[in-house]
Amino acid sequence: MIYHILCLFLLLFYSQSTPCCISCEHGKAKYFSIDNRFDHCGESCIYTIGYPIFKLFEPGLLPATGNQTICHEKGYTIYNETVTHGFWPISITVDLYNPLKEEKTEIVSTNGLQFTLHSILRLFYRK
């Protein structure tokens, strides 16, 4: 019995940890918002008629016109989780993506040659 409950729990957990909004069903459109405070990009499928209502609660909400992978193209490539904000009748399910954390380096360009700041400093500070 405990085995069945554990399997059911894992199945529910797994189903909630997969993206919901890769493609939108008929009648819905893809919208996105970038939350700079928590460094997430959210994608959601909502009915176009509901956009003005959700825009009140999320001022950064924008349509992803012609782009089904807008968060990925904005640099948020790591799927984090799917969450539901609000409650019925005003609720929205959102796929949250995190940015790929990589070392940011400044690129210096001279006469068509490009160098990273790290490679320039390495020339002067060799051991």
What is the structure's pLDDT at 89? 81
> 1 versus 23: which is more confidently predicted?
23
Which residues on adjacent β-strands are paired with residue 83?
94
DSSP 44-110: EEEEGGGHHHHHHH-TT-EE-TT-TTHHHHTT--EEEEEEEEEETTEEEEEEEEE--------EEEE
pTM of the model: 0.65
Give the other-Cβ count within 10 Å of 21's Cβ: 23
pLDDT in tens, 52-97: 999 998 999 999 976 678 999 999 999 999 999 888 888 899 999 9
Q: Give the integer Cα–Cα distance in Å for 85 and 93.
A: 6
Dmax of the chain from CA atoms?
72
Q: What distance in Å separates the CA atoms of residue 27 and residue 102, rounded to the nearest whole number?
A: 38
What gap in Å lies between CA 10 and CA 5, rounded to an integer? Answer: 9
Give me the residue spans of the domains in the chain: 20-127
